[in-house]
Structure formats: structure tokens, C-alpha cells
Amino acid sequence: MTDDDIYKTADGSEPFRFNENVARVFPDMLKRSIPGYAASIEAIGSLAARYVRAGTNCYDLGCSLGAATLAMRQGIAQPCCRIVAIDTAEAMIERCRQIIEEDDRLNGPETQVDIAHHDVRDTQFTNASMVVLNYTLQFIDPAERDTLLEDIFTGLNGGGILVLSEKVVDEDDHMEELLVDLHHEHKRRNQYSALEVARKRAALENVLIPETVAAHRERLRRVGFSRSAVWLRYFNFVSIIAFR
């Protein structure tokens, strides 16, 4: 795993992009930047084992290098399923293809994986039993989030689930300040310097746009999901499960 040293030199003036430099260090970036990330991936596999039905589709939206895709693939216990892994970043998709091909070689393609290089907002969802948005919605314009969630809801079968993981902001300003400080401390414990933390935060300004948990759950209710709940939280990172 290649160490994430991007913001040792990049000054944060350029907006964050999922380019080749990010793809090269992405596993290390996730491990050191997102507390609880590994637990969320493990749980996605468990949810796939419980909720994915035979002959249905699963979607990994903003799949990056395919961690959630692999978790679903390993968890699915039903036959004739298909996972569609989608990302708009070409560098991510190319590395994802390599990872999935290696998994095919080592474990055999018991569950078909189709990898698509296009915008998740252009996706046609059909016959779906599970959809994963793992730290993806936060990079989509807030004005377009309702439409994407409506499309997902329409394409899910009854009893299907959406897993939505996001960085959030707290409704209480004092609590938000504490959570941000704790997150920065987490990064420093993982050997990011204060300068690297500040530079990356500047690069993500107006690129990653977080919302409150209440805003996410209200959107899910508004588009039709019968119920939702936060099932994992670590500082200002949460994962929500919603049921069709």
C-alpha cells in the first residue's frame, strides 16, 4: 500500500480530484482519514448476505477501487446476482478493473461484476436489492441529490436497501467544533502533519459538501423510503441504512 503524501507538497489551492495521484494512494488515504471505514466495509458484506435476493442487481455508486463491491461480492449468498460498480473518475475505474480481475482469478466470478465509467446520476436502476453510496453523495451538488435518491428508490425492489455513508455536520455548533477537532487529532495520530490536514481541508472546500444526519434522513423519507437509521457513527462520519 502506497503512503499518502499528496499534501506534503500540494498546497491545497487546487480543488480535490480523484485523479491518478489519488488513485495511487487511495487505500492509505482512506485508512488514515476516515475513522470507522473498515467497519463500514465489513458491515456492507454482512448486509449483502442478509438482504440481497437471487437474480437481482446490486449497485456500488462511486465505487472508487471497489472495496464495497468486493464486500458485497463476498457477502452475497444467493445465485444469479450482478453487481454494477460505477465511477466517473477514469483513474479509479482502471484500478478497480484490475482489482476485480485479480479477484476473479483468485476466487472465481461467482457473482458477476460489471464496471461502468460514467456519472452515477445517469444510471438506470433496475431490479435492485442493494445500493451502496459509500462517501459519494457528499461530492454531488446538493440540488441534484433528491433526484438521484428518487431514481435509486424507484429502481429498488420491495425490501431492498440503500447503504448511505457520509461525512456529516452536527446541528450543534459546539459539538461540530469538537467532532472536527477529534477528526483532525485522528489524522495527526495517523502521521498526517497539521499542514497536510489544513491543505487537504482547503482542497476539499466546496467539493465535499456535507449535510446533517437529519437532512439525510428527511430526504430519504421524502423520496419514499419506509424507514432509515444510523447504524454506524465515528466522530462526524456516519453510515445510514434505508429500507424500500
Task: Read off the pLDDT of each residue in 104-110 and give the average, rounded to a whole number.
Answer: 81
Q: What is the C-alpha to C-alpha distance for residues 148 and 164, in angstroms, rounded to an integer?
A: 12
What sign does the dihedral 160-166-169-174 (CA atoms) show? positive
The yes-or-no verdict on residue 7 having pLDDT over 90 is no
DSSP for residue 100 = H
pLDDT the model gives residue 130: 98
The yes-or-no verdict on residue 3 having pLDDT over 90 is no
The yes-or-no verdict on residue 192 having pLDDT over 80 is yes
Task: Read off the pLDDT of each residue in 86-108 and give the average, rounded to a whole number.
Answer: 91
Confidence band of 109 (pLDDT split at 50, 70, 90): confident
pTM: 0.93
pLDDT the model gives residue 67: 96
Task: Read off the pLDDT of each residue in 225-244 and give the average, rounded to a whole number.
Answer: 95
Report the chain's mean pLDDT, rounded to a whole number.
Answer: 93
What does the CA dihedral 203, 188, 232, 16 come to, rounded to 10 degrees? 10
Second-level CATH architecture of 1-244: 3-Layer(aba) Sandwich (3.40)
pLDDT the model gives residue 106: 85
Pair 183, 236: CB distance under 8 Å: yes
Burial class (CB in 10 A: 0-12, 13-18, 19+), 165: buried
